[in-house]
Amino acid sequence: MHPFRAAVENRDQDALEALLAESVVFTSPVAFKPYVGKAITAAILRGVMRVFEDFTYVREIANPDGRDHAFVFTATVGGRQLQGCDFLHFDEDGRIDDFTVMVRPLSAAKALSEAMGAQFDQIHREAAGA
């Protein structure tokens, strides 16, 4: 099992954060502008862990050199079932330097946006304290 997938499935926030490059770029499925940096990305991922219910990876796809991965998942948020995918690129040190998330359907994306919006004061505090 890939270390990223293991960290997420075990809800191991420290292991997940250790996999992030300092300059990681996180592209949210519900925000226009990407977030740059390890502290804000780690805080967002902690927020996601708080709002996703029944999270399960159902498929993992990797390119031969192991630097690009797609992790397909299902979850529930705000009573809405969603399907999504984490697209990750790993730098030469094996750290995630690009992290893009996509989700469907639109009703679930809206529920995710609302749930994460409610988390953002805490996310900003966590990122500032890192």
Phi, psi of 95 (to 5 degrees): -100, 150
Q: What is the pLDDT along the chain (130 residues), one digit of tens a residue?
A: 889 999 999 999 999 999 999 999 999 998 889 999 999 999 999 999 999 999 999 999 999 988 999 999 999 999 999 999 999 999 999 999 999 999 999 999 999 999 998 988 899 899 998 6
Summarised one tens digit per residue, pLDDT across range 60-71 is: 999 998 899 999
Task: State the pLDDT at residue 130.
Answer: 67
